[in-house]
Structure 1
Amino acid sequence: MPSHLSADRPAPQPPERHAVDALISRTRRLRGDVDAVRRDTALIDEEDAQMRWQRALCDLAVHHLDDLGTHLGQLREGLPPEPPQTPEQPTDSSALDASDETPDRSEPGSLIGRVGSAEWNLLTDEVTWSEELFEIFGRSPEMGPLSLDELPSVLLPEDQPLLTAMVTDCLVDGRPIDGEFRILRTDGRMRTLHMMGEPVLDADGCTASMWAVLRDVSELRRSQQAVRTNHDSLRRRQHRAQTEHRMAVELQETVLPPWRDSLRLPSQGVGALDVAAHYLPSRSSSLIGGDWYDALELPDGRTVLTVGDLTGHGIRATSAMAMLLGALRGMAVAGIEPGALMGHLNQLLESSVQPALGSAVCCRFEPSTGVLTWAQAGHPAPLLFRDGKGRPLLPPDGVLLGATSGVAYEQDEVHLLPGDVLVLHTDGLNRHGRRDAGPDALLALAPRFAQARTARECVRTVVTEFGDTERLDDACVLVARIRAQGTAAHA
């Protein structure tokens, strides 16, 4: 192909071979490192948008490095040697080394054949295509190259005006060509080509021919599109997660009791409860779950205490929690016993459109007698602290809510004394999220509970002990302290 350089422009000197060799070696090492990362992302969860995006970025980086390695190899070799006149194979060691370092054209994914050149001579109508360009177009050399008039025929119809405009600007106005278009090969495959070229001027400054380099960028563009698609999908997923998290937080704050300081229940009479509670989020603030706590004064002066936990996280869990807590409050006001109340909640979860599993404990306290009636559904038993010592209450029978139908829940009674502290909690409070950790860490707080004057002080002790723990799940704690007649609560 004739040079497009004008006579008054000095030809560029080839770069030092050892410098290019160093660049090639560094590119190969980097390509190997990126390919190792890409292999690590090969077996991923297709539902994970972030992992899909990371894999697409790795694929794109590999394509770029492949192209860079090919271009550096061409830079090192310079102009291709003249074809041998005899069938004898070269024995020069440098020639053998060069052939070893040149990728096999038949190798899958090889970039040889992705770059080709062409020249269209306007004076003789001669068209010259490189061998690689025939491969790019899927056209046999016997068919001959395409003229500038024939070239648009292999383009997609919507891309033909773009090519025509680029060629016209080059031949008429002398503008360089730099654009992309899509072709439909004879084998039915569509490829995306990037074309760069310039007019070649004769001695009088007129356009004598047009040369161009065409590069098959199909895989590169597919990788770029995969990156954009997965990135957009990841952003949409993140936005949706943020929206759902905000809705879950707002729903949780709306449903759970708004009181922050100690609460006296009932507000009048002797033997009242001093109640305080706190919600402890997990180490990931996005895991807003279905935990709840509640303290409700009934019309007859008794008090209902409850904590519970539904499986799952997000708006689905918090909405189910709101439904369940609303039903619990209604049945408690209606006077339903704790055991029967657990049975109704189990039936409600089982018949829900979105079934879930849950655990709960429900306690009803009679201030005039000090009797606590309670039932549980697969939930940690309340802890009773008295005289500086603590113990879990012996739980009556009760399975998880929503686990099975037609099950009966037992209830039990315990007599509470003035100064007793009752702690209800969800199992997410256990250290490191271990459900088998047991209540030992809470029971160890017995001496500090004995010194506390209010339920709020007890809650602060729990938060101090467990607030910085890396929990895998969120948690709730509710503390009820039996007040003697004439004592007052302090926040």
Structure 2
Amino acid sequence: MCHARRVTSEPVHPVDPTGADLAALARVVARQRAELERLRDLSATSAVVERAKGVLMAVTGCTPEAAHEELASCARDGNRTLLEQCWLTLGALLPPKERPSAAPPPDEAPAAGPRQAAPTGTADLAKTLGRIGRDLVRVGTPQELARCLLDHLAPETEADAVLLYERLPEGGLELIGHAGIDRTLAAQWRYVPPVTGVAALDALRSGRPQWLEDIPVRTDRFLLLGESPGRWPSRAWLPLPDGGSAGAALGVLRRGGGAFALRERELLQAVAPLAAGRLRAFDTDREPAGDGVAQAAQAVLDALPGAALLLTPLRTASGEVEDYRIDAVTPEAVDGFGRKGRELAGRRILESYPFIAGEPLWHGCLEALETGLPFESAPFVHQDPVGETLVTATYSVRAAPLGDGLLVTWVRHDRVERQEQRLADVQRLGKLGWANWNLVTGEVSWSEQTYAVLGRRPAQPPLGLLRLPDLALPEDTGPLAHAIAELVRHARPCDVPFRIGTDEGTRHLRLVAEAVTAPDGSPVEVHGFVQDLTPQRSAELALVESERAMLLQRGILQAERALAARLQHALLPLPSKPVRRAGLRIEVAYLPAQSGIHVGGDWFSAIELPDDDALFVVGDVAGHGVDAVATMAQLRFTAKGMVTTGSSLTGALDRLNYLLLHSRDGQITATMVLARYNPDRQVLTWAQAGHLPPLLVRDGEARYLDRPGGILLGASAAPVYESAELRLEPGDRLLLFTDGLVERPGESLEAGLDRLAEAVRVQGSGESGSLDALLTTMIADERRDDVCVLDIRMPVDDVADAHV
């Protein structure tokens, strides 16, 4: 009696009671049931008569005796029985909305018993009920029941709150479980008096759901839960069936307005019997299985082995099965909550096994009742509670009609079969197979996976242990044979790798085995496994090859870095202290990048020309490495040579552009600033090729010079370069720099330039503020590019240091 899931193993037929036992049980049940049916018919007839009398008294105001006489007289006049007359009277006197043939109002469900609201038979509704039933297994209180119902109904019906009310003896209601409302509201509505206009009470009294889907209209008819009726503009109240009448009500509240869809109504009405069954399970007063039929059946089942239940279907007024009562049970039967044997007698199936609702097993039992033919389920998986853990088990169930009820038996599949299946799965997933060699009898046993690992066909006989080295490659035969010999002679366990050849190529294997010894210590049996390690070995070889390639590449990079560093140091020597050029104080900084090869194409020049002018150059060749260093040297020395021999700044840039275009396939570009300072005029003339502008600090203000025209070198065959002049004043500070000083990941170039201007402004001009401090401020993170800076300062006085 469990949640069903198909498995691939063959069905195992349950052990049914013997034919003689069943025959005896059937005869006892038939006799007892016939007597009970007669008594029930009399009781039902009396109930119908009393109900018809009550209705007639309410309409006409007559006495009970007069009502009975009226019914009997009408029966005689119409040549009908008293029972027939009572049914006709009830049908004629019921209000139109309560008649079975009348169409229900738009806000109420059709007048029907609980099972008429059961699942429609669609697959999705059955699955939903199955999920709800399975989760109800772990529900132990009405509060947990409300929480569980809300968890399932929220995604299915957009429910926001669930309430469970129980009818009190005096006619009022008590809130026994809730979810989705706060404690204050629950305390305020803990008890509801037996007054009119309460939807939950109306649902219990009428036995029909109340659908409140237009709250503003319903406020004049119903007393609504909550201080703000509009908080849940859509509500439903459903009676929970409990035999003949409903003793509890289920409330579903929604914050979204609108009517409940047809499927939502069907689901809520189908959930009601499940909730009712769980509420009955919380009641310690169980209905006893004490009638004669149950007692006789229990006496028979007490002597039977296995798990079996004798069930009586519980039907609605329309005849549909809404649940089953357990009348008798074998001692070995256990329900989903761990109750066993006679503890189950008198309980309902949906109470003890709520997870079967809507499942194939439920429909199979209904089919057995309708057709009179036994139903046998396919094997299915269920989790049994063992202590505080759940253990997966496989079952088969058989339901055989017996009188008006069902005899249901089930068996648990053989555990050995499950263990063998698990072992086979482990071998397949682990690419290993076990083997056993009996050294006394010579018997050899291999698992199916061993054949696959060793590349042999299943039709071939398994090899003896001493013949196993015959499969190995020649270079591995010796070590494998030696390990097996030590195992067979001295019982020394072995764990040895070896290779075999197959149609797919070489396969890397591993043999792990140990010996079972006799009392005298001699080996009599060997068992172990062989494992296919080809994927792991291939990955290891690929990793070794990758590491070898990485080491080779690292050596090449280190050699290139060392060569470039030596070349750059030879071509671009750095002064150890500030120097004087044409009366200006010059400080230089060069920092290579910290990633990749630590040399690049940034360079500087600060020299005095033959006419006592000073030449200042800062440039940046795109890229790093030996090529960048070589291009840097070419541009640096060419620029100095051309300006020294009389070329103008713009003319030098034009010739350098031509040089880059016609060297190294025209693939290298560079930026540059050329500046020439005349100490007599104190004028700095400068030109640039796509480079960042110099930064001037004067009188506490920092600004970037307006750049004259000029694009980067090597980008165009017909560039235009212009020059500009700047008159330096005592105390001025001028910075020529490359972009590595201001660039940061994730920051725009403009933000970096603003950062530099602010840092230099804070330091000031003149002799204050060191270049090292400025670099520390600007370069905090890892450098991704070279940094080159020329810090040029005009002294305040005329004192000049010796030229260097």
* Same structural fold, with TM-score higher than 0.5 when normalized by the shorter chain: yes
1:49-60 equivalent positions in 2, closer than 5 A: none
Which residue matches 1:311?
A: 622
Instruction: Supply the RMSD in Å over aligned alpha carbons.
Output: 3.7
Deviations 1:15-37, CA, capped at 9 Å, x for gaps: xxxxxxxxxxxxxxxxxxxxxxx
Deviations 1:56-105, CA, capped at 9 Å, x for gaps: xxxxxxxxxxxxxxxxxxxxxxxxxxxxxxxxxx9527859957994985
Residue 216 in 1 paired to residue 528 in 2?
no
Give me the whole-angstrom Cα distance separating, in 2, the residues matched to 1:101 and 1:209.
25
Residue 426 in 1 paired to residue 743 in 2?
no
1:134 to 441, 451, 455: 451
Given residue 605 of structure 2, which amino acid in structure 1 is its aligned partner? D
Gaps of 5+ in 2: 1-409
Which residue matches 1:400?
A: 712
Would the aligned equivalents of 1:113 and 1:132 in 2 still touch at CA under 8 Å? no
Would the aligned equivalents of 1:113 and 1:135 in 2 still touch at CA under 8 Å? no
SS class of match (1:145): coil
2:637 to 310, 326, 337: 326
1:353 to 641, 649, 664: 664
> Cα–Cα, structure 1 residues 216 and 437, in superposed 2: closer, same or farther, change >3 Å?
same
Would the aligned equivalents of 2:489 and 2:522 in 1 still touch at CA under 8 Å? no
Give me the whole-angstrom Cα distance separating, in 1, the residues matched to 2:683 and 2:737.
20
> Cα–Cα, structure 1 residues 91 and 246, in superposed 2: closer, same or farther, change >3 Å?
farther
Would the aligned equivalents of 1:430 and 1:471 in 2 still touch at CA under 8 Å? no
> Cα–Cα, structure 1 residues 452 and 214, in superposed 2: closer, same or farther, change >3 Å?
same
1:360-379 equivalent positions in 2, closer than 5 A: 360-379=672-691
Would the aligned equivalents of 1:112 and 1:132 in 2 still touch at CA under 8 Å? no
Would the aligned equivalents of 2:428 and 2:449 in 1 still touch at CA under 8 Å? no
Deviations 1:143-174, CA, capped at 9 Å, x for gaps: 12123565334322322222222233333454
Which residue matches 2:573?
A: 257
Give me the whole-angstrom Cα distance separating, in 1, the residues matched to 2:786 and 2:413.
70
Give me the whole-angstrom Cα distance separating, in 1, the residues matched to 2:722 and 2:427.
72
Residue 184 in 1 paired to residue 184 in 2?
no
Q: CA deviation at 1:303?
A: 1.5
Which residue matches 2:91?
A: none
2:649 to 316, 335, 338: 338
Give me the whole-angstrom Cα distance separating, in 1, the residues matched to 2:662 and 2:416.
77
SS class of match (1:439): helix
SS class of match (1:291): strand
Gaps of 5+ in 1: 1-89, 267-271
Seq. identity, %: 34
Give me the whole-angstrom Cα distance separating, in 2, the residues matched to 1:307 and 1:121.
86
Question: What is the TM-score of this pair, normalised by structure 1?
Answer: 0.67
Structure number with higher relative contact order (C-alpha < 8 Å, ≥ 6 residues apart) = 1
Residue 92 in 1 paired to residue 412 in 2?
yes
Which residue matches 2:609?
A: 298
Would the aligned equivalents of 1:431 and 1:471 in 2 still touch at CA under 8 Å? no
Q: CA deviation at 1:276?
A: 1.0
Give me the whole-angstrom Cα distance separating, in 2, the residues matched to 1:315 and 1:450.
38
Would the aligned equivalents of 1:152 and 1:160 in 2 still touch at CA under 8 Å? yes
Give me the whole-angstrom Cα distance separating, in 1, the residues matched to 2:762 and 2:433.
81
Q: CA deviation at 1:464?
A: 4.7
SS class of match (1:329): helix
Which residue matches 2:590?
A: 279
1:154 to 461, 468, 471: 471
Residue 440 in 1 paired to residue 751 in 2?
no
Given residue 652 of structure 2, which amino acid in structure 1 is its aligned partner? L
Q: CA deviation at 1:120?
A: 3.8
SS class of match (1:133): helix
Q: CA deviation at 1:179?
A: 0.9
Would the aligned equivalents of 2:733 and 2:765 in 1 still touch at CA under 8 Å? no
Give me the whole-angstrom Cα distance separating, in 2, the residues matched to 1:133 and 1:408.
81
Q: CA deviation at 1:132?
A: 1.8
Q: CA deviation at 1:314?
A: 4.2
Deviations 1:239-280, CA, capped at 9 Å, x for gaps: 5555544544444433333213221114xxxxx221112124
Q: CA deviation at 1:195?
A: 0.8
Given residue 306 of structure 1, which amino acid in structure 2 is its aligned partner? V
> Cα–Cα, structure 1 residues 144 and 348, in superposed 2: closer, same or farther, change >3 Å?
farther
Give me the whole-angstrom Cα distance separating, in 1, the residues matched to 2:520 and 2:760.
102
Given residue 750 of structure 2, which amino acid in structure 1 is its aligned partner? D
Deviations 1:345-367, CA, capped at 9 Å, x for gaps: 33333344373332111112222
> Cα–Cα, structure 1 residues 360 and 178, in superposed 2: closer, same or farther, change >3 Å?
same
SS class of match (1:196): strand
SS class of match (2:744): helix
Residue 194 in 1 paired to residue 506 in 2?
no
Deviations 1:408-465, CA, capped at 9 Å, x for gaps: 43333333344432211112222635323363334335655655327xx452453353
Would the aligned equivalents of 1:431 and 1:469 in 2 still touch at CA under 8 Å? no
Give me the whole-angstrom Cα distance separating, in 2, the residues matched to 1:286 and 1:465.
24
Question: What is the TM-score of this pair, normalised by structure 2?
Answer: 0.43
Given residue 197 of structure 1, which amino acid in structure 2 is its aligned partner? A
Q: Larger deviation: 226-235 or 162-171? A: 226-235
> Cα–Cα, structure 1 residues 101 and 150, in superposed 2: closer, same or farther, change >3 Å?
closer
Residue 412 in 1 paired to residue 729 in 2?
no
Q: CA deviation at 1:406?
A: 4.1
Report how many residues are paired.
391
Give me the whole-angstrom Cα distance separating, in 2, the residues matched to 1:97 and 1:374.
92
Give me the whole-angstrom Cα distance separating, in 1, the residues matched to 2:413 and 2:540.
40
Given residue 177 of structure 1, which amino acid in structure 2 is its aligned partner? C
Given residue 506 of structure 2, which amino acid in structure 1 is its aligned partner? M
